[in-house]
Amino acid sequence: MSHMLRSVKNVTKGYSSVQVKVRNATSNDPWGPTGTDMAEIAKITYNSSTDFYEVMDMLDKRLNDKGKNWRHVLKSLKVLDYCLHEGSELCVTWARKNIYIIRTLREFIYLDEEGRDVGQN
């Protein structure tokens, strides 16, 4: 059901194929992102500057999600880490310029319905 809802949202919001790839890799599903997903996204960062910024802008949005979307944040950190090692040099430049986004995550807190702090992952 969540996959179908995400597909509808991707179409209605007019997301590009690059944005959809990042959204799928950083979804709220309890699995992923896969190594294949991360490798494809890292490879995209070498394409055009448009593709690079679409990847980074979507990661930025996901990193700034709050509360119940904590998996967006966790998975975006994983994808960003992968891109820093395997993606374009521009990923490192972007991360340095946007380090404040990552620093603010030190304060991330989300208690699930059982009272566990999943923000400490």
User: Domain locations in the chain?
Assistant: 2-120
CA dihedral (51, 119, 110, 114) in degrees, to 10, reads 130
**pLDDT by residue (tens digit) across 15-39?**
999 999 999 999 999 998 999 999 9
pTM above 0.85, yes or no: yes
For the chain, what is the mean pLDDT?
A: 91
Q: Is the peptide bond before 30 cis (omega within 30 degrees of 0)?
A: no
CATH code for the structural domain at 2-120 = 1.25.40.90
